[in-house]
Structure 1
């Protein structure tokens, strides 16, 4: 089976792709996985490290042909605040739980999660259920703003939101000042169900 061993971020490619793969957020965070394009081309994604793929990226096959990556729509909620300061406060709470979050011009998008949605509503924000591609921020640990490390040095996407991949030395939760009472029994687990199956 032909392999795709490199990723070319948009807009660093202009060639016509030979096929397209439509992937949700989970499947855009893989290192090695058999894939089939929408036109039937079968290939093996076989990267040196897991890379956070984004819609518009291209996978480079062994023979130089390109497969375009399209971000699939999935169930999300869009969070709206009463003003920018309110939205920043909500974003802080989401970040404190290490939730993958997409920052929009007028709101925040996360995957549907009734516990988190209840928390957000408790903070006075409005929650709107939508279907849309999910393209969250890569995080401070993810390298470049696009979610990719510099060319030739792909990063492991776990660094953005996997507790095991970094300590909290410069990322204090400051438990003395906010004891996380609202965590209940769900801790930091939301949004991580996909993070351990593709090493």
Structure 2
């Protein structure tokens, strides 16, 4: 089985033969070694030297130099909003206190769909709307390397 042994980050892509693509959710983009199958049917072994986060738009480099495009799958999430900036910061604090992956935007936060957390957000004056979109949560203080690294071991996700 052909192996993918490194990641070519989306900002470094400048050509190359993209022969297939994989569509992966947040959890499946945190990998080191796993058998994968592209949308077009290509089977390959992801075999990286250390665990890494595959970002939307990255490419996996196969041993023969060909590329497999990485696409973030749409996931069922809660989009959390608040009436003002201070209220949103307060909601972010409560979400962070539960150690769950969260993607923080300028005026919204996205987390995995969870009815208990949705009720908490609404109880604190925010809105929690179900949406489907790719999930790019923060990596956390100990993630290292780049913006969206793997969560530390006790994080849910």
1:45 counterpart residue number: 46
| SS of the residue 2:137 aligns to | coil
User: How much is the aligned-residue C-alpha RMSD, in angstroms?
Assistant: 1.5
1:115 counterpart residue number: 116
**How many equivalent pairs are there?**
156
1:104 aligns with 2:105: yes
More strand by share: 2
Which sections of structure 1, spanning at least 5 residues, go unmatched? Answer: 149-156, 164-190, 195-199
TM-superposed CA distance for 1:145, in Å, is 4.2
The 5 Å alignment of 1:23-42 reads: 23-42=24-43
Q: CA deviation digits over 1:6-37, x for unaligned, max 9?
A: 11222111224221100011111122111111
| SS of the residue 1:121 aligns to | helix
TM-superposed CA distance for 1:86, in Å, is 0.8
1:87 counterpart residue number: 88
Which sections of structure 2, spanning at least 5 residues, go unmatched? Answer: none
TM-score computed with the length of structure 2 as normaliser: 0.92
2:9 counterpart residue number: 9
2:20 counterpart residue number: 19
1:162 counterpart residue number: 153
1:58 aligns with 2:59: yes
Greater displacement, 115-124 / 67-76: 115-124
| Structure 1 contact 7–57 (Cα < 8 Å) conserved | yes
TM-score computed with the length of structure 1 as normaliser: 0.73
